[in-house]
Structures are given as structure tokens and as C-alpha cells.
């Protein structure tokens, strides 16, 4: 789903903030309630705005691998251009330093955009009969 870290959740019931684990992020993505780490109440994402912010994290998932590839290719091109004689050693060093600087800045910006705290609302637990009906319906779909 999402390759994001630094996403925190704040329980509306006990007002505790905690780091969300990958399985909790997956539960949020498929709109399933999960238990609070502290008070064991059912939690779900609150509001359309936060759902849009959470869904927007998908676009940041591929920034790091693509920046690594872009940086490596740029450094290789600068090295080959210096070997061929198109760039001097100083120009090649400057190009390499600028490339590494841009790489670090973009990754820092992406990491900053991925850090967020989600307000999670408490949901009432489902009665056992309703859970059994949901489980039966899901088993029939398979």
C-alpha cells in the first residue's frame, strides 16, 4: 500500500498519540476499524479531509527510489562527460555536489510531507451477530 513512516494517530477517546504500524495503516486504507494501543477502543479515520491527505501519501511512495536512480544516472553522466573531456574536473565536482544537494533536499521535503498526525475517532464495537454476518458474507465471496 504505502511506503510511509512517521504517520501518527491520536485517539479521540484517551487522547494519546502513537506511531501507526503498517497493519494499522492498511486498516485505515481499507476503512476498517482497529483497536487503540492504549484504551483498546475501536478507531477509524475521521473526516474526508484527512482521508484525502492519507490517500495523497501514495504519490510520495516512489520519490525515494526515483531520486536514487536520478542521482546515480546524473553522477555517471558527469563522470563520463569528464572522461570524454566535455567537463573539467572542477565542473564535474560541482555538478556532483549540486546533484547530491538536490537529492537531499527533495528527500527531506518528501519526508516532511509524509509526517502527519491523524485524528482517529472512536467507533462503537459491532455486536457478535453482526460480525458473524459480515464474516459469512466475506466467506461466500471467495
78 neighbors 87 (Cβ within 8 angstroms)? yes
58 or 3, which is more confident: 58
Which residue's entry shows cell 536514487? 68
Of the two residues 15 and 4, the one the predictor is more confident about is 15
pLDDT of residue 50: 84
Write the pLDDT tens digit of every residue in 106-140: 989 888 877 888 888 888 765 666 667 777 777 87
Domain map (residue ranges) of the chain: 7-141
pLDDT, position 2: 44
Cell of 52: 484525502
The CA R_g of the chain, rounded to the nearest whole Å, is 23
Name 10's bridge partners: 17, 119
Asked whether residue 35 carries a pLDDT value surpassing 80, the answer given is yes
| Nearest residue to 32 via CA among 117, 123, 116, 114 | 123
| Cα separation, 38 vs 81, whole angstroms | 58
Q: How confident is the model at residue 69 (pLDDT cuts 50, 70, 90)?
A: very high
Amino acid at each position: 500500500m504505502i511506503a510511509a513512516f512517521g504517520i501518527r494517530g491520536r485517539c479521540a477517546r484517551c487522547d494519546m498519540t502513537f506511531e501507526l504500524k503498517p497493519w494499522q495503516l492498511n486498516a485505515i486504507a481499507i476503512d476498517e476499524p482497529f483497536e487503540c494501543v492504549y484504551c483498546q477502543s475501536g478507531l477509524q479515520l475521521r473526516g474526508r479531509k484527512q482521508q484525502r491527505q492519507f490517500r495523497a501519501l501514495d504519490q510520495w511512495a516512489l520519490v525515494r527510489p526515483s531520486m536514487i536512480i536520478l542521482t546515480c544516472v546524473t553522477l555517471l553522466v558527469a563522470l563520463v562527460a569528464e572522461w570524454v573531456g566535455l567537463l573539467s574536473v572542477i565542473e564535474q565536482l560541482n555538478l556532483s555536489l549540486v546533484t547530491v544537494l538536490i537529492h537531499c533536499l527533495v528527500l527531506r521535503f518528501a519526508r516532511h510531507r509524509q509526517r502527519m498526525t491523524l485524528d482517529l475517532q472512536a467507533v462503537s464495537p459491532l455486536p457478535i451477530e453482526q460480525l458473524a454476518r459480515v464474516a459469512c458474507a466475506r466467506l461466500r465471496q471467495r
